[in-house]
Amino acid sequence: MNIKQIKKKYTCLDFLGKPAKRTAHGFLYHAPWREDTHPSLSVTVNGRGWHDMATGEHGSVIDLVMRCLNTTNVKRACEELERQAPLSSSFSPLMISGEEKKKEQRFTKFEVVKLQSPGLFAYLHHRKIDLQIAKQFLQEARYSFKEVDDDRYLYALAYVNDKGGYELRSSIYKGGTTPKTITTHWLVDGAPVVVFEGFMDMLSFATLCGKVRHNYIVLNSTVNAPAAIDVLRSITDKVLLCLDNDEAGDDTTKQMFDVLPLAVDIRSRFAPAKDVNEYLVNKKV
């Protein structure tokens, strides 16, 4: 298809999926190319145009994909859109029933391969993660939510936990597979153990250190704190708590302190940022 045909066939809604909020003038999203606590990416009702309220940038669906990939290569953006949009359009402006929502997150295709897609490398670049460090911990998931008769698929960063489940992340998707639990990395003999909520913060921490200098435990969700505590009870080396600077992080840190009184809370090093990745993204070189 040529550019005109692609613009006619696909909308920003196809590429971005479900919005954070619906307004009288369209839809609001969190801008995929930065930490965007309050959604500032506005998409028109028909999905044909977008406007970044923080920077004034705007354009068509192809411009949007180029912005997400941090490229000026129109051909590459079109290829990326054709690759993702046909399967990522799980959002409809119409109300979706509860049963349909349940079906929506069922994978009809799921496989894990070596991290290789340029779009995922671009996403890591936007988050300022060192790619060589990322490759030590991440794989690539290729998946879809509906049956297709060709090789089309969505893709996301895949981070495996200690029971074989995966946390999945991309610029347009945040999800995972079961079973859910923590991920432990015993990498450096005698080094402290640093505890994070999510793998992006772990990768950000290692990036800031310049290389892997510690052992890591990633909760993958604060509900998994008890599992981490069970592991850490037997650890005699220093335990560093690096959870988020928010209410959930406060509660989980206290929960861990109650059992691990010798642990050290290092979150203040990254304040006022919410987490390590936000600190990294905003850090001036």
pLDDT digits (tens, 9 = 90+) for 162-199: 999 999 998 888 888 888 999 999 999 999 999 999 99
- Helix (H) or strand (E) holding 103, with range, is helix 98-104
Nearest to 107 by CA among 33, 183, 158, 171: 158
Residues of the chain with pLDDT under 70: 35, 83-105, 146-152, 236, 285
Residue 233 phi/psi, 5° resolution? Answer: -55, -35
pTM over 0.75: no
Write out pLDDT tens, residues 250-285: 999 999 999 999 999 999 999 999 999 999 999 886
Please report the pLDDT score of residue 84 as a whole number.
Answer: 60
d(C-alpha 66, C-alpha 60), whole Å: 10
What number of other Cβ atoms are within 10 A of residue 233's Cβ? 9
Structure tokens at 240: 């560093």
Cα separations (Å) of 140 from 51, 58, 160?
A: 30, 30, 10
